[in-house]
Amino acid sequence: MTDDTLPLTRPARAGTAASAPAGDASSTAAFLRRNVRDYGMLLCLIAIMVFFQVMTDGTLMQPLNLTNLVLQNSYIVIMALGMLLVIVAGHIDLSVGSVSGFVGALAAVLMVNHDWPVLPATLACLACGGLIGAAQGWFVAYFRIPSFIVTLAGMLVFKGLALALLAGQSIGPFPDVFQRLSSGFIPDAFDVEGMRLTSLLLGLAVAAVLAGAGWRTRRRQRAHGIAGEPAGFFAAKTLVFSALLIGFAWMLASYRGLPNVLVVMALLIVLFDFVTRRTTIGRRIYALGGNEKAARLSGIDTRRLSFYAFVNMGVLAALAGLVFAARLNTATPKAGLGFELDVIAACFIGGASASGGVGKVMGAVIGAFVMGVMNNGMSIMGIGIDYQQVIKGLVLLAAVFIDVYHKNR
Amino acid sequence: MARANVLPASGPAMSAASSASAAPVLELAGIGKRFGPVEVLRDVRLRLFPGEIHALMGQNGAGKSTLIKVLTGVFPASAGEIRLEGRPIRPATPVDAQHLGISTVYQEVNLCPNLSVAENIAAGRYPRRGWAQGRRIDWPVVEQRARQLLARIGLDIDVTRPLSSHPVAVQQMVAIARALGLRSKVLILDEPTSSLDDDEVRKLFEVLRRLRDDGLAIVFVTHFMNQVYAVSDRITVLRNGAWVGEWPVAELPAPALIAAMLGRELAQQQARPPSPETSDDAAAPLLEARALAQAGQLQPIDLRLRAGEVVGLAGLLGAGRTELARLLFGLASPDAGALCIDGREVRFASPADAIAHGLALCPEERKTDGIVAELSVRENIALALQARMGVGRFLPPAEQARLAEHFVAALGIRTASIETPIGLLSGGNQQKAVIARWLATGPRLLILDEPTRGIDVAAKQDIMEQILRLAEAGMAVLFISSEIAEVVRVAHRVVVLRDRAKVGELPGGCTEDEVYALIAAPAA
Amino acid sequence: MPSSQPQRPEPVAPMSDPSSSSSSSSSSPSLVARALRHRLAWPLVTLLLLLAVNAAFNPSFLHVEWRDGHAYGSLIDILNRAAPLALVSLGMTLVVATRGIDISVGAVVAISAAVAAWMIGGATDGATSRFGLPLALGAALGVALLCGLWNGVLVAGAGMQPIIATLILMVAGRGIAQLVTDGQILTIYYPPFFFIGGGHLLGLPFSIFVVAGVFALLYLAATRSALGLFLQAVGINPTAARVAGIDARRLVVGAYAVCGLCAGLAGLLISSNVKSADGNNAGQLMELDAILAVTLGGTLLTGGRFSLVGSLIGALIIQTLTYAIYSLGVPPEINLVVKAAVVFAVMLLQSAEFRDALRVLAVRPTIGARR
């Protein structure tokens, strides 16, 4: 018997809000209040960006800086996608930093020392990441060893192996093609001065597609009698998002265009968002994290799902390692140090729950950008690394606190 | 007093509300289940017709949950046959049973609290759209279907919110809707009303009646007598793993039902009005509870205990006795009413508070609330006393040993040595050790919740005598037991609970039948 | 996260409890068999094996000589180097006993070292300390204690999972340490400070006495007061402990506070030994070493029965292992790999599923052989 008490006299059950799809002010407010957590994170990000924009006298939003922001934090976003699935499944992976460092080292050894062509080397590295994830996942899923022990040990192993592989030195530079993964920009078909038109057009196209998709979803919802968002809110939201997207694309286009890594990130984000929201295997991971017993009783192979989550994490950590190494153009023994904390923090800031089963891909991405903007903004302001660490810890604390508060309500 | 044979013959009479077809949708025959040498079910049968609500009743250990587990595929029966719509089935896993059309709604809703209502109802079978490779989940359809299913049971809620954001009553409805979505032919509800308040129970019953009228066959496992009579059409009673009988509800009045569940015939007699409390002592009682209540768990209850008095708390399973004990001991907080010790009102924030006031509780669930399995018998016995003394004043191991040896002898605890981890002792001996733990604190009021469960006859006798001796020495004892015979034998007064409320008090020396009559009497 | 909570193992055959160090009183065939069933048997055997391996490769390993009134030798080295880890492990043992974990100990080590170094100041003449030495030491330990209390409040008060709660301090702690040292490596020139980690007393390194002192204190607290009993009860069955009237919350906060304090003390030892405080690298990866030491010593991560002696032995095992690796000429990176492998092996053996799998493999060949 739980101690959850129900009030002795209960008010009549609250009806659904907004059964009529009219977009009057009160229903918009009610809608916002209910979805506060979802949109709250986004508003936070915007607020933080505005804050730093002011504090840095407008340096933050400069095209050059925005581009750097994207390039510097791409690896966090990539790994956050994988870490989110691991956390939703109820586990944690502390080894991602070391694994990405190790894979970066492996890439360097293969491409620089042994002259492997770029594509086979990249594929081999990704496969290696997958194998590492599989090994860790095996111990966690099938032998039920706590994930933090397995991955903490993994962190050690791969830190050591990275050091051994590099023999303590930094190896580089990488072939040109590989460098372009991280530091390259998409080619420009037009030759307009001061503006990479292709990038801008791409941004416009994406905004249009997203708006169209949102519109179609809304139409289908109405067709099935579901109220969805109030019309005014929907219109406003679509407008704002499109404006932000186009503005962002404009900023980037006026510098050097869309970075390659941004395209990679965008594709991955779309993929994982799709998997987590619209595929059975994605939903099963959420079921596993929410109530493992119920999931198992429903016939879900929970051990295999956990295993896959770790394999996926391994591959993404490997990709992040490649991106990072390509950006620095060398593989260093220090690569990967402390990455896991940024990634885990990004997931929690984005709304993932420590007990599993809760967390959205977009939330993790926003969380990663919050971390990135904070890193970037604080660096511009000249705040020391030490303060940055403290502040990051405090932000993580706040995020976890909100999660615990929600749970205990 | 006329003694009528109140156990009517059980027969194949069908409920008036059953559908045109006379064939049962589910038929269990000769079901037996053993775990090793222990036989838990023996030749059990059950017949379920479409369009009826069939209550499955029995006391603790009667085999209800085992039968349900066999039916839902948690484990296979050792003997017997299950027929669904005439065809024999052998569900090997819960998923199997679900596919066959048998769905279960558990007391602790076994869904995923983090997923939305719609998704829980979809139960992993998502409608899809998109091109061949697309296979995307079609959320609008998922949500629409969920709303349709919920409409069938008369519920209109926001299906996009996570399940956990709705109260337990609604979650149970969602579980029912999910069963409907799976096109179940049989719906089993296992103790669905334990966490619901009256309003919600009423709504649940409306839903059940609606589903029954639609032709669904429902098995309703419960121990609330009122509810059985309010909603079910037929009753099957199990006792000690055996089938006792099957009756239409109209043919089995409450005394007969109790007789069937407990295995004894009741004398047909008038229910004696509860006797007034004898207040020959002007002094304040040791403990007084005034309208003590906990929302959803316990209606307001008055209770008084004096030093040297043994008060028995009688009632059937689920009557609310343990809930009352937890309130008195500070394990739960009351939502209404007051608790007074020696005439002064107190509020217990934790068991430590209650212990400081001289209370002690020997809990019902010794495995989860009682023993600390890996610690030794000595340490377990000394634990509560040490906790009260605090961290500083330490009982050296020698002292603990002396204490433990004393109680091992006094209560007849069978253990290889006092250093044996308590988890290795038999259940009965563990129970005795826990009792010893509390006796060691020298309490003024000792609450014993089912202290004799799982203890052999001789030891039971020992404990009963101990209780009387303790009372003579001045301790007040609140004795909770499902064995009414014990309670009436040893108590000065018997407080009777039913369905989370107090229905009356009887003086000590009353007969068991009087207690049962009080329980069986229709609600005022 | 549900899966990161280890599964409870089945209760095992009776073994003696840590408060009585001699083996159990039941009648058994032989002294050797009885001795082997003691919970400290395997850790001790492992340690002796490692010492033997070291001695085999290095003839002068077991050689202890007396020079200038001090004892010198590899064994003394190991004891000295193991001291900080031993301290952290002792504190970690208490936390693990309550079913918790503290991965911030490395950061606390760095913070404590940084505070001490800052308070002493970098006066190169070595004659003065910015604040008095007692004050500096007190401040460092006080800050460490605060860190421990912080963790304890998050876990017991706010109900956070221990791994997450201590992760926060792990993230922020390094930053705090860097703040104190202003990003530099603070060098200390004040001789009285060096005594803590590098000094000698009665010919043996002072650090050994520090460890002995802390161990004695904790051991007495665990066995001469109800603390040991309460900690174990809370770790094994928190509900039953609460019903019995134990204040689990204060106990858990206290356990984390002690863990923080031990980490602080370890920080003092380390910075005193290397005569500097490095906010970034001090205590790096000490959390894993400590967890490993605790599990090697026989305390289970699921909480409950704990063994302070076992954790000490575990710390010695790790240090001896490190020493063996170095003296064998294995590159330092492989050290990490070997340690991780040992963690794995220990955790695997503690995993019930793995033991079942092994049992199946072990049974099958014998069935075949019997034919």
User: At A371, phi and psi to the nearest 5?
Assistant: -60, -45
- Which chain A residues contact residue C173 at CB under 8 A? 393
Q: Which residues contact A365 (CB under 8 A, 6 or more apart)?
A: A77, A80, A81, A269, A350
Report the sign of the C-alpha dihedral through residues C25, C26, C32, C37, in that order: negative
Please name which of A40, A36, A51 lies closest in space to residue A373, comparing C-alpha atoms.
A51
Tell me which chain B residue has its CA closest to the CA of residue A224: B144
Q: What is the model's pLDDT at position A38?
A: 66
Which of A26-40, B149-163, C83-97 has the highest mean predicted lDDT (pLDDT)?
C83-97
Q: What is the model's pLDDT at position C341?
A: 79
pLDDT interval class at C50 (50, 70, 90) = confident
- Which chain C residues contact residue A161 at CB under 8 A? 333, 337
- Would the CB atoms of C334 and A160 count as touching at under 8 Å? yes
Q: How far apart are CA B257 and CA B519, in angstroms?
A: 11
User: No. of H helices and E strands in chain A?
Assistant: 16, 0
Calculate how close chain B gets to A358, using CA atoms only, in Å.
Answer: 6
- Would the CB atoms of A224 and B143 count as touching at under 8 Å? yes
**CA geometry: angle at C153 spanning C148 and C155, to 5°?**
95
Please name which of A320, A335, A322 lies closest in space to residue A118, comparing C-alpha atoms.
A322
The DSSP symbol for B270 reads P
Please give the single-letter amino acid code of residue B304. R
Q: Inter-axis angle of helices C248-274 and C105-120, to 10 degrees?
A: 50
Please name which of C193, C175, C176, C199 lies closest in space to residue C120, comparing C-alpha atoms.
C193
Q: What is the model's pLDDT at position C287?
A: 86
Q: How far is CA C286 from CA B71, C14, C82, C256, C313, in A?
A: 53, 33, 11, 16, 16
Domains of chain C (ranges plus CATH)?
75-330 (1.10.3470)
Question: Residue C218 above 70 pLDDT?
Answer: yes
Q: How far apart are CA B236 and CA B238, in angstroms?
A: 7
Which of A75-84, B424-433, C156-165 has the highest mean predicted lDDT (pLDDT)?
A75-84
Continuous segment of H or E residues that includes residue B480 = strand B476-480
Question: Residue B337 above 60 pLDDT?
Answer: yes
Question: What tens digit of pLDDT does each residue of A225-246 get?
Answer: 666 677 777 888 788 878 888 8
Residue bearing the bigger pLDDT, C282 or A135 = A135
Question: What tens digit of pLDDT does each residue of B505-519 get?
Answer: 888 778 888 888 888
End-to-end CA distance of chain C: 48
* Residue among B104, B115, B369 with most chain A CBs within 10 A, to mutate: B115
Please name which of C190, C210, C312 lies closest in space to residue C261, comparing C-alpha atoms.
C210
Q: How far apart are CA B79 and CA B102, in angstroms?
A: 20
Q: Flag whether residue C17 sits within 8 Å of chain B, measured between CB atoms.
A: yes
pLDDT interval class at C257 (50, 70, 90) = very high
Per the CB < 8 A criterion, the answer to whether A296 and A70 are in contact is no
Q: How far is CA B411 from CA A89, A292, B244, B341, B436, in A?
A: 49, 43, 37, 29, 8
Q: How many CB atoms lie within 10 A of CB A32?
A: 15
Question: Residue C23 above 60 pLDDT?
Answer: no
Calculate how close chain B gets to A42, using CA atoms only, in Å.
Answer: 20
Q: How many CA atoms lie within 13 A of C252 on its CB side?
A: 30
Q: How far apart are CA C13 and CA C35, in angstroms?
A: 14
Q: Flag whether residue A402 sits within 8 Å of chain C, measured between CB atoms.
A: no
Over residues B340-358, the mean pLDDT reads: 90
Per the CB < 8 A criterion, the answer to whether B222 and B55 are in contact is yes
Q: What is the model's pLDDT at position B256?
A: 84
Q: What is the model's pLDDT at position A341?
A: 83
- Which chain A residues contact residue B111 at CB under 8 A? 291, 294
Q: How far apart are CA B173 and CA B203, in angstroms?
A: 10
- Would the CB atoms of A157 and C337 count as touching at under 8 Å? yes
B80: left (phi over 0), alpha (psi -120 to 50) or beta: left
pLDDT interval class at C12 (50, 70, 90) = very low
Average pLDDT, chain B: 82
CA B26 to chain centre: 26
Continuous segment of H or E residues that includes residue B495 = strand B493-498
Q: Flag whether residue C28 sits within 8 Å of chain B, measured between CB atoms.
A: no
Instruction: Find the range with the poorest average confidence among A385-389, B88-92, B383-387, B520-524.
Output: B520-524
Question: Residue C13 above 50 pLDDT?
Answer: no
Q: How far apart are CA C73 and CA B102, in angstroms?
A: 74
Per the CB < 8 A criterion, the answer to whether B197 and B500 are in contact is no
Report the sign of the C-alpha dihedral through residues A27, A32, A35, A36, in that order: negative
User: Is there a cis peptide before residue C134, judged by omega within 30 degrees of 0?
Assistant: no
- Would the CB atoms of B114 and A286 count as touching at under 8 Å? yes
- Which chain A residues contact residue C336 at CB under 8 A? 156-157, 159-160, 163
Q: Is C341 exposed, middle or buried (0-12, 13-18, 19+ CB in 10 A)?
A: middle
Chains contacting A (3 or more CB pairs within 8 Å): B, C
Q: Which residues contact A191 (CB under 8 A, 6 or more apart)?
A: none
Question: What tens digit of pLDDT does each residue of B393-447 get?
Answer: 888 889 999 999 999 988 888 888 888 899 888 777 888 899 899 999 989 999 9
- Would the CB atoms of C347 and A149 count as touching at under 8 Å? yes
Continuous segment of H or E residues that includes residue B298 = strand B298-305
Please name which of A31, A43, A33, A39 lies closest in space to residue A230, comparing C-alpha atoms.
A31
Instruction: Find the range with the poorest average confidence among A341-350, B17-26, B48-57, C289-298.
Output: B17-26
Q: Flag whether residue A34 sits within 8 Å of chain B, measured between CB atoms.
A: yes
pLDDT interval class at A342 (50, 70, 90) = confident
Q: What is the model's pLDDT at position A16?
A: 31
Please name which of C183, C163, C147 lies closest in space to residue C280, comparing C-alpha atoms.
C183
Q: What is the model's pLDDT at position A104?
A: 94
Q: How far apart are CA A52 and CA A386, in angstroms?
A: 18
- Would the CB atoms of A8 and B157 count as touching at under 8 Å? no
Return the HEC string of C182-199: CCCEEECCCHHHHHHHHC
Question: Residue B143 above 50 pLDDT?
Answer: yes
Q: What is the model's pLDDT at position A33?
A: 63
Q: What is the model's pLDDT at position A159?
A: 87
- Would the CB atoms of C244 and B361 count as touching at under 8 Å? no
Per the CB < 8 A criterion, the answer to whether B300 and B336 are in contact is yes
Q: What is the model's pLDDT at position A11?
A: 27
Q: What is the model's pLDDT at position A194?
A: 67
Calculate how close chain C gets to B358, using CA atoms only, in Å.
Answer: 12
Q: Give bridge partners of residue B346 from the DSSP assignment.
A: B339
The DSSP symbol for B166 reads S
Question: Residue C57 above 90 pLDDT?
Answer: no
Q: How far is CA A268 from CA A89, A341, A362, B401, in A?
A: 19, 21, 11, 65
Judged by CB atoms within 8 Å, which residues 288-327 of A form the interface with B? 289-291, 293-295, 297-300
Tell me which chain A residue has its CA closest to the CA of residue B125: A280
The token pair at B152 is 């069938």
Q: What is the model's pLDDT at position A1?
A: 31
Please name which of B52, B61, B27 lies closest in space to residue B482, comparing C-alpha atoms.
B61
Tell me which chain C residue has its CA closest to the CA of residue B383: C244
Question: Residue B75 above 90 pLDDT?
Answer: no
Question: Residue B295 above 90 pLDDT?
Answer: no
Please give the single-letter amino acid code of residue B17. A
- Would the CB atoms of C331 and A143 count as touching at under 8 Å? no
Per the CB < 8 A criterion, the answer to whether A103 and A166 are in contact is no
Q: What is the model's pLDDT at position C364?
A: 59
ipTM: 0.77
CA B438 to chain centre: 24
Q: Flag whether residue A355 sits within 8 Å of chain C, measured between CB atoms.
A: yes
Calculate how close chain B gets to C213, using CA atoms only, in Å.
Answer: 20
Over residues C70-84, the mean pLDDT reads: 86
Question: Residue A106 above 90 pLDDT?
Answer: yes
End-to-end CA distance of chain A: 18
Q: How far apart are CA A345 and CA B161, in angstroms?
A: 26
Calculate how close chain C gets to B279, using CA atoms only, in Å.
Answer: 32
The token pair at B225 is 């007598």
Tell me which chain C residue has its CA closest to the CA of residue A387: C175
